[in-house]
Amino acid sequence: MTIPLHADDFIVPGFRVATGYCGLRSEARPDLLLVAMDAPCRVAGLFTRNQVVAAPVTLCRERLGLGAARALLVNAGNANACTGIQGMADAKQLTQAVAQLLNVADEQVFPSSTGVIGVPLAVAKPLAALPSLLQNLQAGGWERAARAIMTTDTTIKVERLTIDIDGVPVRLVGIAKGSGMIHPNMATMLAYLFTDATIDAPVLQQLLQQAVDQSFHCISVDGDTSTNDTVMAFASAQAPHPAIVTTAAPQAHLLQQTMVEICQRLAQSIVRDGEGATKFITITVSGADSRQEARQIALSVARSALVKTAFFGQDANWGRIVAAVGYAGVAFDANQLDIDLGHVRIVEKGGRARDYDDRDGSNVMMQHDIPIHIHLHQGQESCTVWSCDFSYDYVRINADYRT
Amino acid sequence: MTIPLHADDFIVPGFRVATGYCGLRSEARPDLLLVAMDAPCRVAGLFTRNQVVAAPVTLCRERLGLGAARALLVNAGNANACTGIQGMADAKQLTQAVAQLLNVADEQVFPSSTGVIGVPLAVAKPLAALPSLLQNLQAGGWERAARAIMTTDTTIKVERLTIDIDGVPVRLVGIAKGSGMIHPNMATMLAYLFTDATIDAPVLQQLLQQAVDQSFHCISVDGDTSTNDTVMAFASAQAPHPAIVTTAAPQAHLLQQTMVEICQRLAQSIVRDGEGATKFITITVSGADSRQEARQIALSVARSALVKTAFFGQDANWGRIVAAVGYAGVAFDANQLDIDLGHVRIVEKGGRARDYDDRDGSNVMMQHDIPIHIHLHQGQESCTVWSCDFSYDYVRINADYRT
């Protein structure tokens, strides 16, 4: 099976897509996405761990337990977070209107919002736009879908793959948006997977958890975790392969690999499009006692403002990397620490590598994509994290975002 | 007793000061500080919790246990961190040379270094400068002392107070340097207190710990903790009051209040002089279940890149503050959360305050000094933390630091 060149032509049976502009954004570009499902879909989701949670996230969490989805409605331009009782009423009113138009139950409609926090949602605007959205529903359209949920993103994030399960082609498409407040636990990040796989909801939830753990939980743009983070997966069961009812099945394993692949590509796209980013940094920590400790160290480096500004300055200031490894809160023997910048060993046994020449380090720093490998030599576990630099543009974008 | 207007004229009996230039900096400005002590002083110290520790920090830690100090030698321009066995040999050689010139034991000389990490210390340069330093030793000179230890600091940090203990005047002076890698656990921060108080070393250590807990552990410039952080206190016992032998003594309490005051002023000076800082932000979290949880939330806000850039942009984007409170890792009821920006209530019960007008928030944001008060309404504990904004200049300074 070949994958169409244009993501808008990639059809996942069971899903129809419409986008539109309702005026929640100040610019006249799409700010609404509706994905309607022909029949009840299995649904899985992971949400922000922030103590402050946007109304739509609360609704999604509640509705996840009921196990069936018929629609996803996403708006950009307003996060509907810190909007109190009215915010919850607005989110409910919106999903109720979708439910009535589609003739499904309220609880089968999943809402998401992204944009400014703390400003009441002008709910009349999306309400007025819903009827025309419904008329525009069509198969495919994933690029438009990805474009409608963008905020400060400069590129659309869409990935799709087709796999073969027991001789049956199964499609997966994923869309996502970044690009500020990006740190594990998903930040102001929205991502949605759609597949026609036939799979039980609890299995889908476990596969999604594992895919997120290896992708969206391994990226950091600015260390901020938002109130609206959402990753959801919808499965329409339109592909006529035997149902996947356990994670132990080889079919589950194949599907999981595919979900990991799509989620990693989306997560990396988010980092590449990080606000003001000029560098894409891949940080691998190996030789740790646990994957969790490896990730903690990698994220400490990923988050360091001094490391990020050094990368922006193309300065192989490895001392800042060593310092960030050291303050991650993980115990290790500093005299065993080795660090490679690309193929250049810069730190050896905790100090400057004997044969290290600053020019070699500088050459690596001139690249756009920069790998760092941190060897702890303590245990057998490792983790890879993706990050970007801190530039003048990061400051400009975030100092000016609302004004 | 009056305090002289110029810190250079403030004399603490038992201490003499000399500064000089030895060529460790590229610019021709002082990069060496020697404080010689007429007789063995009680000494206390707190050091970085980074796993990667500079050679001079390791030496100080070892020598602290021996209980007596005769000299402090600080160099700027090179951190002597990640410099391996040679770095330790260099630090030892330097303190040995000081010890020989002063005719004291090696272990009574305490070294500190600040500057670039990972570059071998050109030890011949300070060694050659030591004899002339010794000839220049004089009482007072604390401004020059503070100037000699600066790195990217733009202002000197020196504070002094005189108190009365049992009718005897007791002097305290403190010097410090920032101004990057500033986060609790002391970052690339050096601070030294000198007093003529008569006090046992274990009591001095406890007072210093408490003072640091309320000052240097409550500031954040960029979230980075360095390999060289050092706070030390030296007491010459030249003031003829009865010795302070327990923290329970009222005299200990008075001395501690004074140490807190000096350390808070120094810590705030460091934040005010944070790299590229245009705002001074005081973050108070109250109504927490513990001081530790209050601090954790305050530091989460202090560290948020999105909050810091919003302050630089003078944008009352309180949603980012709420988000940073929420991801601090402390459980609380978001529906109880109130936040004041200056005297303006911006968040009420987790949402936008009813009477909040954006213009009022903007007026506060135009100030240079901005207080934020976060009310959790969970318990009785509170903590105050000082921070600054993230500006273009922060990026410029740190992208260009070595180049």
Q: Do B395 and A390 touch (CB under 8 A)?
A: yes
- Final residue belonging to a domain, choices A272, A300, A331: A272
CA-nearest residue to B55 within chain A is: A351
Residues B241 and B304 in one domain: no
- Final residue belonging to a domain, choices B219, B253, B272: B272
Q: Do A326 and B52 touch (CB under 8 A)?
A: yes
CA-nearest residue to A78 within chain B is: B319
Question: Which of A315, A337, A351 is facing B399, going by the closest CB pair?
Answer: A315
| The predicted structure's pLDDT at residue B368 | 93
CA proximity to A80, closest of A52, A101, A102: A52
Question: Which of A327, A351, A394 is facing B225, going by the closest CB pair?
Answer: A327
Confidence category of residue B179, pLDDT binned at 50, 70, 90: low
- Final residue belonging to a domain, choices B255, B272, B289: B272
- Specify the higher pLDDT residue, B127 or B270: B127
| The predicted structure's pLDDT at residue A5 | 65
Query: Chain A partners of B399 at a C-beta cutoff of 8 Å?
Result: 309-310, 312-313, 315
A193-200 mean pLDDT: 98
Is B174 within a domain? yes
B149-156 mean pLDDT: 89
CB B194 within 8 A of CB B146: no
Task: With a cut of 50, say whether residue B184 has pLDDT above it.
Answer: no
* Shortest Cα–Cα distance, A114 to chain B (Å): 12
Task: With a cut of 80, say whether residue A73 has pLDDT above it.
Answer: yes
| The predicted structure's pLDDT at residue A391 | 85
**How many CB contacts within 8 angstroms connect chain A with chain B?**
225
Residues B177 and B305 in one domain: no
Instruction: Give percent of chain A above pLDDT 70.
Output: 94
| The predicted structure's pLDDT at residue A223 | 54
Confidence category of residue A1, pLDDT binned at 50, 70, 90: very low
Residue A342, domain CATH: 3.10.20.340
CA-nearest residue to A334 within chain B is: B52
Is A185 within a domain? yes
Q: What is the pLDDT of residues A321-369, one digit of tens each?
A: 998 998 898 999 999 999 999 999 999 998 889 899 989 999 999 999 9
Q: What is the pLDDT of residues B19-42, one digit of tens each?
A: 999 999 888 899 999 999 999 999
Question: Which of B223, B304, B315 is facing A399, going by the closest CB pair?
Answer: B315
Q: What is the pLDDT of residues A93-147, one digit of tens each?
A: 999 999 999 999 999 999 999 988 888 999 999 999 999 999 999 999 999 999 9
A212-237 mean pLDDT: 84
The count of domains in chain A is 2
Question: Which of B49, B304, B352 is facing A82, going by the closest CB pair?
Answer: B352
Is A117 within a domain? yes
Residues B243 and B356 in one domain: no
| The predicted structure's pLDDT at residue A219 | 84
* Shortest Cα–Cα distance, A270 to chain B (Å): 17
Residues B21 and B122 in one domain: yes
Residues A123 and A223 in one domain: yes
Q: Do B82 and A119 touch (CB under 8 A)?
A: no
CB B112 within 8 A of CB B60: yes
For A398, phi then psi, to 5°, come to: -90, -20
Is B173 within a domain? yes
Catalytic choice (A19, A114, A152, A188): A188
| The predicted structure's pLDDT at residue A221 | 63
* Shortest Cα–Cα distance, B268 to chain A (Å): 20
Question: Which of A51, A330, A400 is facing B326, going by the closest CB pair?
Answer: A51
Is B1 within a domain? no
Instruction: Quote the mean pLDDT of chain B.
Output: 91
Residue B50, domain CATH: 3.60.70.12
Query: Chain B partners of A222 at a C-beta cutoff of 8 Å?
Result: 305-306
Is B83 within a domain? yes
B212-235 mean pLDDT: 82
Residues B214 and B291 in one domain: no
* Shortest Cα–Cα distance, A294 to chain B (Å): 15
Confidence category of residue A303, pLDDT binned at 50, 70, 90: confident
* Shortest Cα–Cα distance, B16 to chain A (Å): 34
CA-nearest residue to A186 within chain B is: B327
Residues B305 and B230 in one domain: no
Instruction: Enter the tokens of residue B288.
Output: 């927490």
Q: Do A323 and B352 touch (CB under 8 A)?
A: no
Give the lowest-confidence range in A392-401, B184-193, B305-314: B184-193
Query: Chain B partners of A394 at a C-beta cutoff of 8 Å?
Result: 305, 309, 395
CB A103 within 8 A of CB A65: no
* Shortest Cα–Cα distance, B63 to chain A (Å): 21
Q: Do B400 and A313 touch (CB under 8 A)?
A: yes
- Specify the higher pLDDT residue, A185 or A42: A42
Q: What is the pLDDT of residues B161-174, one digit of tens each?
A: 999 999 999 999 99
| The predicted structure's pLDDT at residue B186 | 39
Instruction: Quote the mean pLDDT of chain A.
Output: 91
Task: With a cut of 90, say whether residue B305 has pLDDT above it.
Answer: no
Residues A242 and A297 in one domain: no
Q: What is the pLDDT of residues A57-68, one digit of tens each?
A: 999 999 998 879
Is A344 within a domain? yes
Query: Chain A partners of B50 at a C-beta cutoff of 8 Å?
Result: 323, 326-327
Residues A70 and A145 in one domain: yes
Q: Do B223 and A303 touch (CB under 8 A)?
A: yes
| The predicted structure's pLDDT at residue A119 | 86
Residue B396 sits in which domain range?
280-400
B384-403 mean pLDDT: 78
For B64, phi then psi, to 5°, come to: -60, -40
Residues B289 and B236 in one domain: no
Residues B52 and B130 in one domain: yes
Is B2 within a domain? no
Q: What is the pLDDT of residues B238-253, one digit of tens each?
A: 999 999 999 999 999 9
CA-nearest residue to A332 within chain B is: B51
Task: With a cut of 90, say whether residue B256 has pLDDT above it.
Answer: yes
Give the lowest-confidence range in A177-186, B51-60, B301-310: A177-186
Task: With a cut of 90, say whether residue A166 has pLDDT above it.
Answer: yes
Give the lowest-confidence range in A6-15, B40-49, B387-396: B387-396
CA-nearest residue to A327 within chain B is: B50
Q: Which residues of B are catalytic?
A: 188
- Specify the higher pLDDT residue, A393 or B41: B41
Residues B250 and B305 in one domain: no
B169-180 mean pLDDT: 90
Instruction: Enter the tokens of residue B334.
Output: 């978001």
Confidence category of residue B2, pLDDT binned at 50, 70, 90: low
Q: What is the pLDDT of residues A264-285, one digit of tens each?
A: 999 999 988 887 889 999 999 9
Question: Which of B226, B349, B402 is facing A317, going by the closest CB pair?
Answer: B402
Task: With a cut of 80, say whether residue B74 has pLDDT above it.
Answer: yes
Q: Do B306 and A185 touch (CB under 8 A)?
A: no
Best B48, B220, B322, B398 residue to mutate vs chain A (most A CBs within 10 Å) = B398
CA proximity to A342, closest of A310, A365, A309, A308: A365
